[in-house]
Amino acid sequence: MMDVIIIGAGPIGLACGIAAKEKGLSYLIVEKGALVNSIYHYPLNMTFFSTSDRLEIGGVPFISQNPKPTRSEALEYYRRVSHHHQLQLHLYEAVDAIINKEDDFMIQTTKAQYTAKNLVVATGFYDAPYLLNIPGENLPKVRHYYTEPHPYFNMDIVIVGAANSAVDAALETFRKGAKSVTMVIREKEIGQNVKYWARPDIINRIEEGSIAAFFESELKEITANHVTIQSPNGTRQIKNDYVLAMTGYQPNFKLLESIGVSFHQDEFQTPIYDESTMEANASGVFLAGVVCGGLKTNKWFIENSRDHAPLIMAAIAKKKELHFLG
């Protein structure tokens, strides 16, 4: 019987493990993929919006060679953090089921079964992309994740979206030899939240005609060789080899629901939790990181949610002390 199981070995899950260790709590971090799995799946040349000091956890300095750290630097940093704190990590071990019993939890994974008094959900939101829900979305040419531009050399690319991931993909594929790059964007313009060094770049490429853009438009159908776009000027069919649907991602709501977490009746499906302890309405279930924002995935980042970890472990330590005294 452990004090706490932490689901997710992203930066916030690691911070929770560090805080548990500092409080003398028995813990285990389980992760279905690699260490900081979401960062690992970011585009290879991705640069963070934040400076390195705002990504630090566990008192370990993050030294970057650049004004903004890169994906590879972040992977190196979080490996170093995990090694420095000798964290109890079980990687490539997915959670299959959780049974919320009266006083504890039974967690069944792909490799073992565990019991714990408390549960921390730090699963992020990078695993479930928003789907287009249009004909042809299941074709092999459609991808919801972008890693690098090389596969798209000499290809006709359609990119759906206008947030950071879509802009990065458009600029990289254009500069690395895509035959054509076309953006399909619901909004009237490139989003104001796009990284300040990338936004003027993409706007200039669109204005000069290097990258085509259909604003206030939607993708309606995907076929093996074409896509159909609905724009304010009508329907248009475009020759196409690949579709990069950079439509964003959402938290694992099914997991939260399965352990009794309730949600506010708002447009973002925000989970209900106590901000002073991060404990959800389900006793013993704690939320950490971006999962706290529901569909509002741009509310919580590493820099403003790393403080969730000490709040959670202080609450668990207090519960343990009260149980012992009782």
Domain assignments of the chain as residue spans, ordered by start: 2-128+249-325, 131-245
CATH number of 2-128+249-325: 3.50.50.60
HEC assignment per residue over the chain: CEEEEEECCCHHHHHHHHHHHHCCCCEEEECCCCCCHHHHCCCCCCECCCCHHHHCCCCCCCCCCCCCCEHHHHHHHHHHHHHHHCCCEECCCCEEEEEECCCCEEEEECCCEEEEEEEEECCCCCCEECCCCCCCCCCCCEECCCCCCHHHCCCEEEEECCCHHHHHHHHHHHHCCCCEEEEECCCCCCCCCCCCCCHHHHHHHHHHCCCEEECCCEEEEECCCEEEEEECCEEEEEECCEEEECCCEECCHHHHHHCCCCECCCCCCCECECCCCCEECCCCEEECHHHHHCCCCCCCCHHHHCCHHHHHHHHHHHHHHHHHHC
Q: Please say whether the beta carbons of 95 and 32 come within 8 A.
A: yes
The pLDDT assigned to 322 comes to 81
User: CA-CA distances (angstroms) from residue 23 to 26, 31, 217, 315?
Assistant: 9, 22, 52, 10
CATH number of the domain at 131-245, please? 3.50.50.60
The closest of 72, 86, 76, 70 to 14, measured between CA atoms, is 86
pLDDT of residue 128: 80
The dihedral region occupied by 53, where left means phi > 0, alpha psi between -120 and 50, and beta the remainder, is alpha
Contact 177, 263 (CB under 8 A): no
Q: Encoding tokens for residue 258?
A: 């399965």
Pairwise CA distance, residues 44 & 70, whole Å: 9
* Residue 248: predicted pLDDT: 85
Question: Which residue type, as a one-letter code, is found at position 53?
Answer: D
Domains 2-128+249-325 and 131-245 share a fold: yes
231 burial (CB, 10 Å; 0-12 / 13-18 / 19+) is middle
Backbone angles phi, psi at 82, to 5 degrees: -60, -40
Neighbours of 182 (CB within 10 A): 21
Smallest CA-to-CA distance from 122 within 276, 14, 258 is with 14
**Per-residue pLDDT tens over the stretch 121-161:** 999 877 788 899 999 999 999 999 999 999 999 999 999 99
Listed as ranges, residues in the chain with pLDDT below 50 are: none
**Which residues are bridge partners to 234 per DSSP?**
231
Instruction: Find where tokens 């000091």 sit.
Output: 53
Q: Copy the structure tokens of residue 3.
A: 């004090």
pLDDT of residue 298: 78
- pLDDT attached to residue 64: 93
Instruction: Tell me the two tokens of residue 67.
Output: 């004004």
